[in-house]
Copies of this chain bind each other. A is one copy, B any other.
Amino acid sequence: MARHDWIIVGAGFTGAVLAERIASELGQRVLVIDRRQHVAGNAHDQLDAAGILVHTYGPHIFHTNSPKVWAYLSRFTEWRPYFHRVLGMIEGQLVPIPFNLNALYALFPPGLAARLEDRLTDRYAYGARVPILQLRQSTDADLKMLAQYVYQQVFEGYTKKQWGLAPDELDASVTGRVPVLVSRDDRYFQDTYQAMPREGYTRLFERMLDHPNIEVQLGVEFADLPSAPDARVVFTGAIDEFYRYQFGPLEYRSLRFVFETHEVEHYQPVGTVNFPTNFDFTRTTEQKYLTGQRSPRTTTITEYPEAHRPGENEAYYPVPREVNQTLYQRYLALSSDDADRLFFAGRLADYKYYNMDQAVARALQLFEQRIATLPRS
């Protein structure tokens, strides 16, 4: 095995971007390992038994406001423009999420809806995203009622399912943010760039990692590698696992995905349907809307949130509670002695929820600010 300058643990967005940058820009040799049998991390996609392209670890929809991230990824994929739409099942009707003026008219009787529209457009800029925390503090009785309604119908039950916690057990940064959108824009994202990789995420990763300086080994644990004392390391896995859970495990939320194929062209009217107040699952996503694939059948993914059990299921979401941040800081402090030999980056290593574009931006920044400037080892 050739000597590697770098070992990158994890072939998700963070690891793949750093491998590509180091290989292409610094001309150094990189070994990328992943304990899974595939690249692309949680963005991995593949054809299922029915021939439908599905996202192995739940729906991944790309969106970004960053021209830099967009330009970078565009080197490795063409794109299919896609505006994601989410409808929530509220009082038996499918209405736009985030809650907007269309939802107002779908759910409330005409008189009340018109009054609420007046109150909202009087008080807030058209197009504003008003957090319900702010609406609740309004002195207007109608707006207070609206805030309470959105809290109960959209937020409360969904939050309980998603986190297994009551809203008041979570950081206020999470609970206060749910918006009412003062417009009729029913897209889930308002980012400048909203698109899906035309041949899928896995193909994008294959292109990123296709470089003579990059070697990829799959099904390999970091702990099982022969020691390579000269190589620098980027670790994109869980920081608590890296340090053998010595302060105890960091808390994550996991998901169980149920994939179902239906013998119909479409199963639901839009990409994702949320169930804020019904059932134990949070949402069902129909993959064909995301990928644009045509087929007489269709596959859905339904998400059941569950507690994370290390070694048994995947760690998806850092749980936004003060106590977890404190624990993470203790782990992070352990790494400071190795500051230019060992780097932690990524959703699991930073214990921070990143969208895909944020993971790419974080990796690009780490490369530019800390890795490209290192003395050659």
Contacts and interface: CB of A to CB of B under 8 A. Distances in A.
A121 B142 CA distance: 10
A299 B38 CA distance: 36
Given A193-B278, A194-B278, A111 B107 contact: no
Contacts of A112: 117, 121, 126
A110 B114 contact: yes
Interface stretch (A180-188, A222-230, A305-313, A322-330): A180-188
Contact of A184 (B108, B192, B275): B108
Interface of A: 67, 70, 81, 83, 85, 89, 91-93, 101, 104-105, 107-112, 114, 117-118, 121, 126-127, 145, 149, 157, 183-187, 191-195, 275, 277-280
A184 B279 contact: no
A279 B74 CA distance: 12
A53 to B, nearest CB: 17
A279 B81 contact: yes
Given A111-B118, A157-B192, A192-B278, 16 more contacts: A67-B280, A81-B279, A83-B92, A91-B183, A91-B186, A92-B185, A92-B187, A104-B109, A105-B110, A107-B183, A108-B126, A111-B121, A126-B145, A127-B149, A191-B278, A193-B279
A145 B149 CA distance: 28
Number of identical monomers bound together in the oligomeric complex: 2
Contacts of A91: 183-187
Contact of A109 (B81, B184, B187, B192): B184
Contact of A278 (B81, B85, B118): B81
A105 B109 CA distance: 9
Nearest to A84: B92
A186 B92 contact: yes
A195 B280 CA distance: 12
A107 B184 contact: yes
A93 B184 contact: yes
Nearest to A67: B280
Contacts of A110: 105, 114, 117
